[in-house]
Structure 1
Amino acid sequence: MLSVQMLTSLALLSALLMKYAASVVNNYRVRKQMPPGPPGLPLLGNIFQLTRSPWLRFVEWKDHYGSIFSLNLAGQPTVVINDFTTAADLLDRRSHIYSSRPRFIVANEILTGNMILSFMEYGPLWRKMRRAAHEAFNIRSSQSNRRLQEKGSVVLASSLLEDSSQWEEILQRSTASTVLCAIYDQAATEMGLDAIGGRVGEMLKRLSNACLPGRYLVEYFPMILHLPDMLAKWKREGKEFFKKDTIMFEGLMDSVRMKMNAGETRACLATALIEDEKNYDLGAQKKSLASRNYCDDWYNGYLIPKGTLVIWNTWGMNRDPKYFPDYEEFRPERYLDDAGQLSEPIPDTHAQGHFTYGSGKRYAEPLLM
């Protein structure tokens, strides 16, 4: 005769199995209504089909499934966009649905301590940060940075002429240095800013890698985050990077405060934040608790369920043979017409001819620089 304890255990197991079966049936029903996509493994889906360069795999799948397709990344429904029109339809024209962000455990929580605007969930704190960035990077301030841009261009051209084999590293360092000058009002020769620009470039590369789908399993199995640091090398190293980066940026802010006290600084993002810190309420804060504003959506007859991770494949979009038949060639003049003027921009690209700076409410403010 079965004991009461065994009967209770069997009842609990039966309930769990029924719940799991219902979940499988519901997920299958939802998946059938989503855009088509490659088949995957049970439970894990397509997570192990992603390479270390997922944008290349996305282009392969685009050729087979179309410009919009879906994936299952260990239970996380995911939609990948590969053309300008679809990206504009969803991310621009329906930005009220697609303005939030996934959690980004490694990039947002470990590497940057929930303090980077690009990774914040859509909510009050994001809006305050966005407003501060807009005031520092509007058209008026971008005009005041013209001489800075010209000087940076000369340094960049000189560096490329000296050693063009390192062009990628040179471009990253130049971009980071220019942005740092605009944010912290530091000349390129001050405080070893070129070296700091190199460090910022390395930080940006770490963040980009951390955001790649499939790079860290903790993004799909958050319970891994609770492992002790000694058992999680990625977590231990991430905290160390965050500590070093924080010291670097605090040093830059201290330099701006000293210049402000001496009356020697010009308007920049750092001065705006320091002067209006009370208005923006941007002091040390815990992670924003604003919920994602996703909801079920339909596009071209396909369901994009609430909570779906939406990825736009910028690499593939900017190499669309429809608009860039010779995309492998370095040919800036492709953006000019026969008269040497800017040609008609590609539709749905914010008149830029590409989709590099994002979209909707997440459109990059530094573009004005």
Structure 2
Amino acid sequence: MLATLIVAACAFAVCAYLILPARRQVPRGSQLPNGPPGQPVLGNLLDIPLNHSWFQFQEWSKQYGPLFRLNLAGRNQIIVSTEEIANDLLREKGTIYSDREQLPMAAQLMSRNLRPLFMPYGETWRNVRKLTHSLTNVSVAASYENLQEEESIRALRDLARDPDNYETWFERYSAALILRLAYSKPVNTGDEPSVRKVLGVVHAVERVASPGAYLVDTIPAMLRLPTFLAPFKREAARLHTEELGLFRDLLREGVKNSREGPDSEDNFCGKWFRNKESYNISDDQAAYAIGTLFEAGAGTTAAAMMSFILAMVLHPDECRKLQDEVDSVVGPDNVPSFIDMPKLPRVRAVAKEVLRWRPVTAGGLPHMLTKDDVYKMEDGRSVFLPAGSNVHPVQWSIHREPKRYPDPDSFRPERWLDKDWPTYREPLSQFPNLQNFSAFGFGRRICPGQNIAERSLYILIARIAWCCDISQRRTPSGEAILPPSYDYTSGFNVQPKPFKFDLKLRPARQEALEMQYDAVWAAGKERKSTT
């Protein structure tokens, strides 16, 4: 009997722990957001699909409105489905909407609060952000364009020669750029141990941080379990040891390479090292800040380029329009360069539409609210948002808001180029662009590598359009093999699963391509290792 009472008391305590935090004093004249009803204790936890949850979030937004609430076993989740609300909260009120919930597995156990993506909002985060901003802001990003042109011409040549390995070429393109910028580390094949190790860290983070991947994120009390009863702790310790060792080694190598090169060719590590006292962060925090710029840029740029190819295969008319624009500006004898970008608005529109149509971080990343807030909805309701809530801007829904993006499920670059669309802006020599675009996040947590990623996408898209004809692959009987419109990997960063297509050189492009390639990557020429 006593044992039964003890078990019952423990169960009641757990239930109270899970349920009571959601009960808050709602200010007069306001109300909690609407949301789907849940189950006792678990709330809506079992209602959310493990994979591609953004589809369900979008359906709920149609039923409960653009700002609705979920109860995830006592954790308050506020889902944001429009860009206006996301900016009102996460940008305009960034002082209280910029924290991160410290999920046990990804933030605490694996990252040990060193990874900027998961780091709590505060002085340390601001110091780390100061470093990453100094390395990636608009002004300095323009100085990296020569490397982007070098890496893009190599990717273009290999893609034209071996299109079936498009994933390899796109991954090498983005990885090589970041490794050269950060560490003065040349990449030749993309299969170098350092490249595979860093990509391994990227994939591990995406897996570990995926919603629902670990029970301890739902029941934080499991952190109290001893290690021998908690296999997730042993896994996290192993992953942390591997990534910390890798980032430390890369930092040391980058500083060494920077010392050996002239000051004018400083890499990211050298820039930190020469001014480290001004940043007030530890060596390990700097190692993670620079190392995770690779996470922010490499995988996402490669994934976006894969979605670009998919869009061109599914929409051949858009591919031809893109080619026509590039041809009219550049012609067949010159490879596109950054100098041409102001005259290539469709190139920029296609890049932006790819990120809208198939956002890499489709589910978005939650911000944690640190102070109670009330938000006035468009319909006049005052909605109470309690402190401690995770405010979750879901990019998939935000990019499909019919009011801002009519015909949202269609791939329509014209929405950025035609005055009849609500997203059109002038002048077309400047717009469209990717500055502060919602695909990179919101407010103070916006992706620090957006300026580099923007240029990387523009130059490679322009050069592929100039050089290549992309088409649907056909069976021996001539029937088109149409890839699925949405068959994407799982995780918080996603990309299309491998698909079949045909790609060949356009007429009169071979000579100019080879001349440009040889000028930079001539056979036997040692690749310079500094930036």
Q: Determine if the TM-score, normalized by the shorter chain, exceeds 0.5.
A: yes
Aligned to 1:246: 244
- Show CA shifts across 1:228-264 (max 9, x none): 3343333322222222222222222121222233235
3-state SS of 2:216 partner: helix
Call closer, same or farther: CA 1:149–1:91 in 2, change over 3 Å: same
Matched, 1:27 2:23: yes
Q: Does 1:274 align with 2:356?
A: no
CA deviation digits over 1:311-366, x for unaligned, max 9? 1111332244441626454x65653348xxx9428xxx996484111121112221
1:87 CA displacement: 0.5
- Contact 1:133-1:269 within 8 A present in 2 as well: no
Question: Any residues of structure 2 matched to 1:200-349 within 5 Å, and which?
Answer: 200-264=198-262, 266-283=265-282, 294-299=370-375, 300=377, 301-322=382-403, 323=405, 325=407, 327=409, 329=411, 335-337=416-418, 343-344=424-425
CA distance in 2, matches of 1:328, 1:159: 30
> Does the CA-based 8 Å contact 1:46-1:71 persist in structure 2?
yes
Deviation, 1:160, is 4.3
How many residue pairs get matched?
343
Residues 112, 332 of structure 1: alpha-carbon distance in 2 compared, 3 angstrom cutoff = farther
Q: Secondary structure at the match of 1:118?
A: coil
Q: Which of 421, 436, 451 does residue 368 from structure 1 map onto?
A: 451
C-alpha root-mean-square deviation of aligned residues, in Å? 3.5
Provide the rounded CA distance (Å) in 1 between the counterparts of 2:176 and 2:401.
31
Tell me the secondary structure at the aligned position of residue 76 of structure 2.
Answer: strand
Post-superposition offset of 1:305: 0.3
- Secondary structure of the equivalent of 2:107? helix
Map of 2:301 onto structure 1: none
Q: Which runs of 5+ in 2 are unaligned?
A: 286-367, 427-431, 453-531
Maintained 8 Å contact 1:82/1:314 = yes
After superposition, residues 59-138 of structure 1 pair within 5 angstroms as 59-138=58-137
**Paired AA for residue 180 in structure 1:** L
Once structures 1 and 2 are overlaid, which stretch shifts more, 242-251 or 263-272? Answer: 263-272
Q: CA 1:284–1:221 in 2, change beyond 3 Å: closer, same or farther?
A: farther
57-66 or 193-202: bigger deviation: 193-202
- CA separation of 1:235 and 1:335: change in aligned 2, threshold 3 A: farther
Deviation at 1:55, TM superposition (A): 1.4
Report the more deviating stretch, 140-149 or 261-270.
261-270
- Structure 1 residues 321 and 25 mapped into 2: Cα distance closer, same or farther (>3 Å)? closer
CA-to-aligned-CA distance 1:85-132 (integer Å, 9 cap, x gap): 111111111111101111022222222222111211111111111111
Q: 1:289 maps to which residue?
A: none
TM-score between both structures, scaled by the size of structure 1: 0.79
The answer for the alignment partner of 1:356 in structure 2 is: 439
Matched, 1:46 2:75: no
- SS of equivalent to 1:303: strand
Give me the whole-angstrom Cα distance separating, in 2, the residues matched to 1:250 and 1:333: 46
Q: How far apart are residue 78 of structure 1 and its match?
A: 1.0
Whole-Å separation in 1 of the counterparts to 2:21 and 2:440: 39
2:360 corresponding residue in structure 1: none
Separation of aligned partners in 2, 1:202 and 1:25 = 37
**Matched position secondary structure for 1:364:** coil
After TM superposition, give the deviation of residue 212 of structure 1 in Å. Answer: 3.3
In structure 1, distance between residues paired with 2:21 and 2:446? 38
Contact kept, 8 Å, 2:79 with 2:393, in 1: the verdict is: yes
Residues 308 and 293 of structure 1, relative CA distance in 2, 3 Å threshold: closer
Inter-partner Cα distance in structure 2 for 1:239 and 1:155 = 38
Larger RCO (CA within 8 A; separation ≥ 6): 1
Shift of 1:71: 0.5
Equivalent pair of 2:24/2:386 in contact (CA under 8 Å): no
| 1:297–1:305 Cα contact (<8 Å) kept | yes
Secondary structure of the equivalent of 1:188?
Answer: coil
Asked if 2 retains the 8 angstrom alpha-carbon contact of 1:54 and 1:212, the reply is no
Q: Is the 8 A contact 1:318 1:354 kept in 2?
A: no
CA distance in 1, matches of 2:185, 2:413: 30
CA distance in 1, matches of 2:408, 2:159: 23
Structure 1 residue runs of 5 or longer lacking an equivalent are 1-5, 287-291
